[in-house]
Structure 1
Amino acid sequence: MRHIDLKANLTWHDVVIRVVLVLVTASVIVWFMPRETQQNFKIELGKPWRYADLTAPFDFPIYKSEATLKAQCDSVLRDYEPYYVKNMEMADVKVRDFVQEYNKLTSGGYKDYKSIIANRLHQFYDQGIVDTKEPAINGDDTLRTIRVVIGNTAKSVSLSSTLTPKQAYEKLMGDAMLQSHRDVLTELNLNDFIVPNLIYDKERSEASKQDLIASVPMASGVALSGQKLIDRGTIVDEQKLLLIESFQRESDRRNQSESRFTTTVLGELLYVLLLVTGFTIFLSIFRSDYFDNMRSVIMIYSLIVVFSIAASLMVGHNILHVFIIPFAMVPIFIRVFMDSRTAFMAHTALVLITACVLQHPLEFIAVQITAGLTAILSLRDLSSRSQLLWTAGAVTVASCLMVLALDLITVPSFRNLSFSDYNYLIICGLVLFCSYPLLYIMEKTFGYTSNITLIELSDMNKELLRRMSEVAPGTFQHSIQVSNLGAEIARKIGAKAQLVRTGALYHDIGKIQNPIYYTENQSGGINPHEQISDIESAQIIISHVTEGLKLAEKYNLPDVIKGFISTHHGQGKAKFFYVNYKNAHPDEEVDELLFTYPGPNPFTKEQAILMMADAVEAASRSLPDYTEQSIRSLVDRIIDSMVSDGYFRECPITFRDIQYSKTVLIEKLKTIYHTRISYPELKSNQ
């Protein structure tokens, strides 16, 4: 029997690796947690408020709705006056250019109109020519005035008192004094002399617009700290919606500072680290066999990390609802490969970690803990893959009932129930059906063997078992008897019954290679051992272990089954031939390794069970009579000999377990070898 001592099992190197694993696990989870502190409310106008009562933790402004704010901004922008700078030199430059161009004309009649046109151009530039290509003018039908800057002063000018280049040109061409000489005007190309002299000042204009917009208050009131914003079950109307959205907005604004970011990350890291460390301590104290196995530790932590990251990404990117994630898949996998307590503790740690990224976690925790417990209880005795389908259905129903219970506690009547969450839970149940194919992937990835795989391996139509039944029928029957005895012991002492049953069926498959050398397969009084030496006989008998491992490798049997093949004799001896040889050579020093099985000795409770059942079942066949006393004496002698020889020294089996094992073996053998009554013969009347 092995005393579980963590310090003896783990070196400092192993401890450091596990500490690093805990730190890395916590760091990765926190890295993916959403950094924005926006409240994760799903608000539906006209629907009941599904979360807990909401109270303002601080004073915050009640912001106006976007529609109201836009209407008020549009209203104040009616007074908006874009700024234009008046170019005072533009008139002189363009009139001079016109005179020079006009003087090139040779016709004296043309010269009569030079002063008229020059005068008209001065009038236009004094009035102001504004460019319609500028954004402040183009397409804005509401604009009535502009702000004209002359030097250091600015004054409001009616837009109708200014001209566009097109209006100035048409006005000049329509002048009554110039109508008789339109051909001269056309020849002069007057467009070259009519250009905007009111230049749009973008910087001042934008500043003026922003000042007007800033004059519109963003809030319509203030919510005070401690004020009740909304009660659970209250219908969300427009006023409540505005109040909650304002709270969300202000919360987000308050938490954007760098110091807040740092404290948030530190808090999240400490929170996750405490949970992961607590779970690790649980493993090290109560499940040291898993804690010693790095493969088990990595599998559990990988599941926690993957599902935590999935929840963080979904919340951070506001994708659907976190209820869609099948968190119950974690306890399902851990329960199948390990045990219920570890599954529940891992699931609880995962749920509490995930709750950190939710603003209202109580409903989530209640639903997910219920789902996890349902999954664990429904898989307490996994015997077929169809159970996984039933588990998915049971988890879905239990989750929906929990949501219904929480809703009924808070809503005033059935009419106020919201069924949106049930849709997500049903989708989650459908995703849980993926546990069926994923179970196989988990087995191959982490090297585990589920009960389902063990049951499949126990099928008598499997090639290896069928071959053993044909080639070595005696060994086959012996294996079946051992599997029944071992499974009964396992159930009695709380070991893995299906594992023992399957391991027992395959423990002697090496005898297929030389079946006639084993007494259970001999018939007709032929014993080939009579023709060879004790050493050769011992080597053949011992070889069934190595031959069995070769066959297990060839047929891809799981490592856990190979463990039964190699340990069912431990490092014991082929005693019959060993004793024979010593008796025949009393003065010779015997090389005991020639008669010793390669081992190792059992190192799991299930392997110890198989060793006891195998030895007792084989020896029971040689009893001269099957009385309770003879059976009890046989069982006590064989198992006590195993204990005294130290076969169970490295095995986590207790004296109490061994005593229960003896009791089961005695009762079962008494049933198998019970005395039958003699049937009377019918006497003849003659």
Structure 2
Amino acid sequence: MKNLISKWYKNHALIYKILLFIGTTFLIVYLFPKSGKFKYNFDKNKPWQSENLYAPFDFAIQKTPEELEKEKSAIVKNSAVYFDLFSEVKDFVYEDYNKKFNATFDDSLGRKKTELYRIGKLVLDQIYKNGVLEEDYNYPNDKSVILLDGQNQVATTTYSELAKIDAFRKILEKQLEEKRNSNFSAVFVSMFFDLIEPNLKVNKSITQNALNEELDKISSTRGNVERETLIISKGELVEGHKYDILKSLESEYESQVWSASNYTWVVISYSLLVALTLLMLLLFLRKYRKDVFLDNTKVTFIFFNILLMVLLTTLIVKYNSKFVYVVPLCVLPLVLKAFFDARLGLFAHVLTVLLLGFVVPNSYEYMFLQITAGIVTILTVSELYKRANLFISVGQITLVYIVTYFAFFVIHEGSIIELDLEAFGMFILCGLATLFVQPLIYIYERLFGLVSDVSLLELSDTNTKLLKELSNKAPGTFHHSLNVANLAEASANEIGANAMLVRVGALYHDIGKMKNPTYFTENQSTGLNPHDELSAQESAAIIFSHVLDGIEIAKKNNLPDRVIDFIRTHHGTSMVYYFYMKEKEIDIATDADDFRYPGPKPFSKETAILMMCDSVEAASKSLKDPSSTKINHFVENIINKQMEDGQFLNANITFKEIESIKKILKNKLANIFHLRIEYPE
């Protein structure tokens, strides 16, 4: 049992990666749509590129959304409106009319009164023939209307046959004019305004229920295709009825067939493809980015970003697939490039796009667009910490999106007449969303403990608290660090290494000397050397300690691990030769290993560059009467000794790159010492 636990502990990093791999695969498959993919790609009004297609099973031809909408519109237009008819209102109005008429007109009018009464009654009969509306509902005049008295249907008419509440005025004036009684118009109008009451009110519940019943009767299909029926032949244009049949088959294929009978097989197949994709990423890291592969935090960070992009895209597709290009997918290569390198960023981006091909519509077009944009992102964004560079790059990415989409649209449609400008707006939104990469990088640094070029830029400021302290306590070391930083940055630029990283590493590599600054020659301003009173071994111990002291100070000040690596490795396992020879004068059997730094040796181009520049800059102070020949021999001698001592065996740096660094150091030292040609006297 103990051996088993010990074995598990030794392999805990590998076990974690396996669990991370399985977990990420599970989550991505969970997000994917659980349906089969129609294996044929086709576009409207384009030739059918595959073999002759026969119906694999019986299926119904689906109506297009336009056809269904047209049918719905027709039903809504022709549907009847139900009104409640309150018959007791009419009786009340007639009774009230008799009272008000007798109170208004005097009996002295004789036969005229009888005639006027008949006119008023005639007007009431006309406006209450079908009923008086409570309000104007703005229905079309030919809208069918059904009148209900309680639950019973009493009449069917049209909306134009229903009277508005003020309709009596025109009818009354017309009747009075025909009977030559216009002088009584004002009296009648005044009386009718108080008299007329509406007796029709729309019944929204019954009207809506009746409409829903009719809408439910709409069939979503029109006709069937029997199994083994030839749907389309190779080379035939996909248009009209054939296009509708193919869309129906695609819909049937992706819903009923797969979700009902082969769900498990679909999930297993998705899992295999996703697992294969993520395995390729792990193999890439293991072969080409060993340091990243061994760091579980970094591997988790990469998997998390891939999962985040899949999550965002699937959510957008489920909401509305036309907004799929709003997802700022180019944030992925930007973030990975900021924390790692361009090659890893592009590789992860391409794999993510391949995964999203299962989710998005028009997958080929989508993948071409996103891979192209990812390549442009990697090629254009060189210094992410410079805001102008980011804005320019985002503009270029957006332009690539627009141009590529335009080309695809013309290929599909054959013209630009129906060009969808809304898509261009989505690409602009995508570009604006990509600008969020700056705060996102800051968040990632805090969550995962990583460091980007943006943070390195902040650390390179010589006004930071730690560098201020170094300049006050050890001014000579501070000046030395500045010189090394300039040499290292120039060397890194020459061979394509991370210049910002190596500059920051150079600025902080000797901060451990703050503990005992006077024990280092660059800080000895009085001419007194405290090493004169110490043994060679004691002096060597103090010199060695500045590395461990530097690591301790760096950790207290929360410097990133990538910067601390420069403190650990800037001397590698080299020897403090002066004190070794001093001790050897006393004891010839002195062990050379006692005068070597504990290491480790440099394990990257950047740390190797710092070792070379640090040694050359420090030793250059001892040059007397420097000349070009002396400087050349001096640089060659120091770096060749480091190579012979095996200091660069763990660093991925080539002989050609080392020669380029030598050339830069020679030129820089020549400028520092202001070498001039000798003029004749």
Q: Paired residue for 1:662?
A: 662
Q: Determine the C-alpha separation between the residues in 1 that align with 2:438 and 2:460.
A: 20
Of 538-547 and 503-512, more deviation after overlay is shown by 538-547
Q: Paired residue for 1:326?
A: 328
Q: Determine the C-alpha separation between the residues in 1 that align with 2:444 and 2:215.
A: 60
Are 1:394 and 2:400 counterparts? no
Q: Paired residue for 1:349?
A: 351
Are 1:530 and 2:532 counterparts? yes
Contact 2:501–2:606 (CA under 8 A) maintained in structure 1 = yes
Q: Which amino acid aligns with 1:481?
A: N
SS of the residue 1:65 aligns to: helix
Alpha carbons of structure 1 residues 332 and 142: separation in structure 2 relative to 1, 3 Å: farther
Q: Determine the C-alpha separation between the residues in 2 that align with 1:230 and 1:463.
A: 74
Alpha carbons of structure 1 residues 536 and 383: separation in structure 2 relative to 1, 3 Å: same
Are 1:307 and 2:309 counterparts? yes
Measured against aligned partners, the alpha-carbon deviations of 1:527-549 in whole angstroms (never above 9, x if no partner) come to 23223333333233222222222
Q: Shift of residue 254 of structure 1?
A: 3.4
Measured against aligned partners, the alpha-carbon deviations of 1:551-606 in whole angstroms (never above 9, x if no partner) come to 212322111111111211123333222221221344xx547676443332222221
Q: Determine the C-alpha separation between the residues in 1 that align with 2:442 and 2:71.
A: 58
Of 608-617 and 467-476, more deviation after overlay is shown by 467-476
Q: Shift of residue 618 of structure 1?
A: 1.0
Q: Determine the C-alpha separation between the residues in 1 that align with 2:76 and 2:445.
A: 64
Structure 1 spans left out of the alignment, 5+ residues: 1-10, 40-48, 76-136, 145-209, 682-686
Q: Determine the C-alpha separation between the residues in 2 that align with 1:57 and 1:262.
A: 26
Q: Paired residue for 1:437?
A: 439
Q: Paired residue for 1:225?
A: 231
SS of the residue 2:262 aligns to: helix
Q: Paired residue for 2:461?
A: 459
Q: Shift of residue 291 of structure 1?
A: 2.6
Q: Determine the C-alpha separation between the residues in 1 that align with 2:607 and 2:418.
A: 59
Q: Paired residue for 1:500?
A: 502
Q: Which amino acid aligns with 1:511?
A: K
SS of the residue 2:232 aligns to: coil
Contact 1:34–1:316 (CA under 8 A) maintained in structure 2 = no
Q: Paired residue for 2:382?
A: 380
Q: Paired residue for 2:291?
A: 289
Contact 1:54–1:231 (CA under 8 A) maintained in structure 2 = yes
Match of 2:68 among 40, 65, 68: 65
Contact 2:476–2:523 (CA under 8 A) maintained in structure 1 = yes
Q: Paired residue for 1:605?
A: 605
Contact 2:231–2:245 (CA under 8 A) maintained in structure 1 = no
Alpha carbons of structure 1 residues 365 and 623: separation in structure 2 relative to 1, 3 Å: same
Q: Which amino acid aligns with 2:613?
A: A
Q: Determine the C-alpha separation between the residues in 2 that align with 1:548 and 1:216.
A: 79
Bigger-Rg structure (1/2): 1
Of 57-66 and 358-367, more deviation after overlay is shown by 57-66
Q: Shift of residue 283 of structure 1?
A: 2.8
Q: Paired residue for 1:580?
A: 582
Q: Determine the C-alpha separation between the residues in 2 that align with 1:533 and 1:649.
A: 33
Q: Determine the C-alpha separation between the residues in 1 that align with 2:508 and 2:259.
A: 65
Q: Which amino acid aligns with 1:619?
A: A
Q: Determine the C-alpha separation between the residues in 2 that align with 1:375 and 1:549.
A: 36
Equivalent residue runs for 1:481-560 within 5 Å: 481-560=483-562
Q: Determine the C-alpha separation between the residues in 1 that align with 2:586 and 2:221.
A: 107
Measured against aligned partners, the alpha-carbon deviations of 1:490-534 in whole angstroms (never above 9, x if no partner) come to 233332222111101111122223322222222353323223333
Q: Shift of residue 21 of structure 1?
A: 3.7
Q: Determine the C-alpha separation between the residues in 1 that align with 2:624 and 2:45.
A: 77
Contact 2:36–2:266 (CA under 8 A) maintained in structure 1 = no
Identity %: 36
Q: Which amino acid aligns with 2:612?
A: M
Q: Determine the C-alpha separation between the residues in 2 that align with 1:459 and 1:318.
A: 47
Q: Determine the C-alpha separation between the residues in 2 that align with 1:230 and 1:27.
A: 41
Measured against aligned partners, the alpha-carbon deviations of 1:235-256 in whole angstroms (never above 9, x if no partner) come to x9xx999778755654455335
SS of the residue 1:427 aligns to: helix
Measured against aligned partners, the alpha-carbon deviations of 1:333-364 in whole angstroms (never above 9, x if no partner) come to 11111121211111111111101112321221
Q: Paired residue for 1:569?
A: 571
Are 1:22 and 2:18 counterparts? no
Q: Determine the C-alpha separation between the residues in 1 that align with 2:217 and 2:467.
A: 88
Q: Paired residue for 1:634?
A: 634
Measured against aligned partners, the alpha-carbon deviations of 1:390-433 in whole angstroms (never above 9, x if no partner) come to 33333222212221222233334332111121222222222212
SS of the residue 2:231 aligns to: coil
RMSD value, Cα: 4.1
Q: Paired residue for 1:403?
A: 405
Measured against aligned partners, the alpha-carbon deviations of 1:152-171 in whole angstroms (never above 9, x if no partner) come to xxxxxxxxxxxxxxxxxxxx
SS of the residue 2:624 aligns to: coil
Of 249-258 and 310-319, more deviation after overlay is shown by 249-258
Q: Shift of residue 295 of structure 1?
A: 2.7
Q: Paired residue for 1:122?
A: none
Q: Paired residue for 2:651?
A: 651
Q: Shift of residue 259 of structure 1?
A: 2.4
Q: Paired residue for 2:141?
A: none
Q: Determine the C-alpha separation between the residues in 1 that align with 2:428 and 2:452.
A: 27
Q: Paired residue for 2:273?
A: 271
Q: Determine the C-alpha separation between the residues in 2 that align with 1:363 and 1:571.
A: 55
Q: Shift of residue 435 of structure 1?
A: 0.6
Q: Determine the C-alpha separation between the residues in 2 that align with 1:483 and 1:667.
A: 15
Q: Determine the C-alpha separation between the residues in 2 that align with 1:276 and 1:543.
A: 44
Q: Paired residue for 2:30?
A: 31
Q: Determine the C-alpha separation between the residues in 2 that align with 1:214 and 1:658.
A: 79
Equivalent residue runs for 1:49-448 within 5 Å: 53=46, 58=55, 60-63=60-63, 65=68, 68=71, 139=151, 141=153, 219-222=221-224, 225-226=231-232, 246=248, 250-251=252-253, 253-255=255-257, 257-318=259-320, 321-448=323-450
Q: Paired residue for 1:202?
A: none
Contact 1:388–1:436 (CA under 8 A) maintained in structure 2 = no
Contact 2:382–2:389 (CA under 8 A) maintained in structure 1 = no
Q: Determine the C-alpha separation between the residues in 1 that align with 2:295 and 2:373.
A: 28
Q: Determine the C-alpha separation between the residues in 1 that align with 2:631 and 2:460.
A: 29
Alpha carbons of structure 1 residues 581 and 376: separation in structure 2 relative to 1, 3 Å: same
Q: Which amino acid aligns with 1:35?
A: K
Q: Shift of residue 437 of structure 1?
A: 0.5
Alpha carbons of structure 1 residues 319 and 138: separation in structure 2 relative to 1, 3 Å: farther
Q: Shift of residue 376 of structure 1?
A: 1.2
Contact 1:483–1:504 (CA under 8 A) maintained in structure 2 = yes
Contact 2:324–2:360 (CA under 8 A) maintained in structure 1 = no
Q: Which amino acid aligns with 2:654?
A: T
Q: Which amino acid aligns with 2:559?
A: L
Alpha carbons of structure 1 residues 509 and 72: separation in structure 2 relative to 1, 3 Å: closer
Contact 2:628–2:675 (CA under 8 A) maintained in structure 1 = no
Of 549-558 and 606-615, more deviation after overlay is shown by 549-558
Structure 2 spans left out of the alignment, 5+ residues: 1-9, 79-148, 157-212
Q: Determine the C-alpha separation between the residues in 2 that align with 1:73 and 1:61.
A: 24
Q: Which amino acid aligns with 2:23?
A: V
Q: Which amino acid aligns with 1:444?
A: R
Q: Shift of residue 661 of structure 1?
A: 2.8
Q: Determine the C-alpha separation between the residues in 2 that align with 1:143 and 1:258.
A: 50
Q: Which amino acid aligns with 1:561?
A: V
Q: Which amino acid aligns with 1:613?
A: C
Alpha carbons of structure 1 residues 213 and 311: separation in structure 2 relative to 1, 3 Å: closer
Contact 1:38–1:249 (CA under 8 A) maintained in structure 2 = no
Q: Determine the C-alpha separation between the residues in 2 that align with 1:326 and 1:487.
A: 33
Q: Shift of residue 679 of structure 1?
A: 9.2
Q: Determine the C-alpha separation between the residues in 2 that align with 1:12 and 1:539.
A: 36
Alpha carbons of structure 1 residues 249 and 490: separation in structure 2 relative to 1, 3 Å: closer
Instruction: Count residues with an aligned counterpart.
Output: 533
Q: Determine the C-alpha separation between the residues in 2 that align with 1:218 and 1:336.
A: 52
Q: Which amino acid aligns with 1:349?
A: L
